[in-house]
C-alpha cells in the first residue's frame, strides 16, 4: 500500500504564507510522488488551497484536508462546519479527534466516532487520531487508552471502518521535539493493526500514520517500521524543504 504523508497546519498560515508554501511544494515535488500527500488546512483557507490546486498541475497530487468536522449534517450549530461543506471545497480527508480537540474542546470518544461517521457519509476519509498522555504512558496504560479510543470509532462505523485512516499521536510527542522511538511507535501500531484485524477482514487497507515531532531527520526510520504507513506532520509541514524531505522518505 502507498504511504500517506499528511500535513496538519493547525491554526497557522495566512493567504500570503499559504501561497508561498504551496508554491515551494509545487517546485520541489517529484511528480507523481511515490506516496500519497495531503495538507489539512484551517477551514477559511480551504477555498484558497482548492483554487491553487486547480491552477497548478503539480499541486493536484496534493490532496486537500480539513482539521475538524461537525457530527451534524446541518442546522443550528453556530461555528460548526459540516462534512458536506468540506466536500464542496474538495476535501478528501478530515482529521477527527486530534488530541488538541480532545484536550481543549472536550471531545469525547463518542463524539469523535460520530464525526468520523459524518465524514464517511459525505465520502470524506476521516483521519482518526488516537494517543496517550505522558501520565497514561508512564502508568502503563498506553495500550488500553488507544484501544478504547479506536474501539469507539469501530463500534459506531461498523463495516465502513476499512475506509478510515488511523493516526497514532502520542500526546507527549506532539510539538515537544520528543518523538516516540521507532520501536515504541511500532509496538502501538501493531496493537492497533491487531484491533482493526479483529474488526474487519479489510484491515490491510487501513493506513496507520504516526504523528508527533516527525521531522526531516527522523522520518525515514519511523517510516521503515512494518506497521507505520505514513505520517501526520505538524510543525515540519509548514517548512517546504522539511515536508518535501519527509515525502521523499515515504517511498515503499
Using the minimum distance from each CB to ligand 13P, give the nearer residue, 222 or 236.
Answer: 236
Rounded Cα gap, residues 115 and 96, in angstroms: 7
Q: Determine the Cα–Cα distance for residues 101 and 112; give it in Å rounded to an integer.
A: 10
80 is catalytic: no
Given 98, 107, 132, 136, the catalytic residue? 98
Give the three-class secondary structure for 126.
strand
DSSP state of 122: T
> Distance between CA 20 and CA 163 in Å, rounded?
33
Based on CB atoms, which residue is closest to ligand 13P, 158 or 175?
Answer: 175
Binding status of residue 13 toward ligand 13P by CB under 6 A: no
DSSP state of 125: E
Looking at the Cβ atoms of 199 and 246, the one nearer to ligand 13P is: 246
Q: Which of residues 101-160 bind ligand 13P (CB under 6 A)?
A: none
- The residue whose grid cell reads 483521519 is 127
CA–CA distances in Å: residue 163 to residues 114, 123, 143, 207? 15, 9, 23, 9
**Shortest reach from residue 237's CB to ligand 13P, in Å:** 7
Decide the pairing of beta strands 230-233 and 36-40.
unpaired
The least distance separating ligand 13P from the CB of residue 75, rounded to whole angstroms, comes to 29
Question: Scanning residues 34 to 93, which ones bind ligand 13P (CB under 6 A)?
Answer: none
Residue with cell 470524506: 124
Query: Minimal distance in Å, beta carbon 168 to ligand 13P?
Result: 11
Site for ligand 13P in 202-241 (CB under 6 A): 211-214, 232-236
d(CA 2, CA 215): 19
Q: How far is the CB of 86 from ligand 13P (least distance, A)?
A: 17
Binding of residue 8 to ligand 13P (CB under 6 A): yes
Other CB atoms within 10 Å distance of the CB of residue 154: 20
Known catalytic membership, residue 169: yes
Per-residue binding string, ligand 13P, 159-198, x by CB under 6 A, is ----------x----xx-----------------------
Site size toward ligand 13P, by CB under 6 A: 14
Q: Which residues pair with 231 in a beta bridge?
A: 5, 210
Residues that bind ligand 13P (CB under 6 A): 8, 98, 169, 174-175, 211-214, 232-236
Hey, which residues are catalytic here? 98, 169
Amino acid at each position: 500500500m502507498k504511504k500517506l504523508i499528511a500535513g496538519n497546519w493547525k491554526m497557522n498560515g495566512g493567504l500570503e504564507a499559504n501561497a508561498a508554501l504551496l508554491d515551494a511544494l509545487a517546485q520541489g515535488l517529484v511528480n507523481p510522488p511515490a506516496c500519497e500527500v495531503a495538507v489539512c488546512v484551517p477551514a477559511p483557507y480551504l477555498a484558497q488551497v482548492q483554487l491553487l490546486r486547480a491552477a497548478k498541475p503539480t499541486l493536484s497530487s496534493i490532496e486537500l484536508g480539513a482539521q475538524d468536522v461537525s457530527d451534524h449534517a446541518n442546522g443550528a450549530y453556530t461555528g460548526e462546519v459540516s462534512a458536506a461543506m468540506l466536500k464542496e471545497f474538495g476535501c478528501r480527508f478530515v482529521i477527527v479527534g486530534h488530541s488538541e480537540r480532545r484536550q481543549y474542546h472536550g471531545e469525547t470518544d463518542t463524539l469523535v466516532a460520530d464525526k468520523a461517521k459524518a465524514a464517511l457519509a459525505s465520502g470524506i476519509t476521516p483521519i482518526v487520531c488516537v494517543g496517550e498522555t505522558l501520565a497514561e504512558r508512564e502508568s502503563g496504560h498506553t495500550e488500553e487508552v488507544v484501544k478504547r479510543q479506536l474501539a469507539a470509532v469501530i463500534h459506531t462505523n461498523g463495516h465502513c471502518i476499512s475506509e478510515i485512516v488511523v493516526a497514532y499521536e502520542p500526546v507527549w510527542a506532539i510539538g515537544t521535539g520528543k518523538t516516540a522511538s521507532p520501536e515504541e511507535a511500532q509496538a502501538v501500531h501493531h496493537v492497533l493493526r491487531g484491533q482493526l484485524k479483529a474488526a474487519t477482514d479489510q484491515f490491510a487497507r487501513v493506513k496507520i500514520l504516526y504523528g508527533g515531532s516527525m521531522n526531516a531527520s527522523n522520518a525515514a526510520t519511523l517510516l521503515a517500521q512494518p506497521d507505520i504507513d505514513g505520517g501526520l506532520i505538524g510543525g515540519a509541514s509548514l517548512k517546504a524543504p522539511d515536508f518535501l524531505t519527509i515525502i521523499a522518505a515515504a517511498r515503499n
